[in-house]
Amino acid sequence: MMKTKNKQADLQTEKRRAKEIFILLKKEYPDTKIALDFSTPFQLLIATILSAQCTDARVNLVTEKLFIKLKTPADFLSITQEELEKEIFSTGFYKQKAKSIQNCCKALVENHNGEVPKDFDALTNLAGVGRKTASVVLGNAFGIPAIAVDTHVKRLSNLLGFINSDDPKKIEYRLKELLRNKDWTIAGHLLMNHGRKICIARRPKCGECKLAELCPGAVSATKQKGK
Distance from C-alpha of 100 to C-alpha of 38, rounded to nearest angstrom: 19
Contact between residue 26 and residue 106 where contact means Cβ atoms under 8 Å apart:
no
**DSSP 8-class letter at 145:** -
Contact between residue 87 and residue 95 where contact means Cβ atoms under 8 Å apart:
no
Contact between residue 74 and residue 109 where contact means Cβ atoms under 8 Å apart:
yes
| Three-state DSSP state, 162 | coil
**How many CB atoms lie under 10 A from the CB of residue 38?**
19
Torsion, Cα of 32, 52, 174, 192 (10° steps) = -30
132 is catalytic: yes
Contact between residue 50 and residue 63 where contact means Cβ atoms under 8 Å apart:
yes
150 is catalytic: yes
Distance from C-alpha of 138 to C-alpha of 120, rounded to nearest angstrom: 8
| Annotated active-site residue in 150, 170, 176, 210 | 150
Q: 135: closest CA among 102, 168, 166, 163?
A: 168
Contact between residue 210 and residue 28 where contact means Cβ atoms under 8 Å apart:
yes
As annotated, the active-site residues are 132, 150
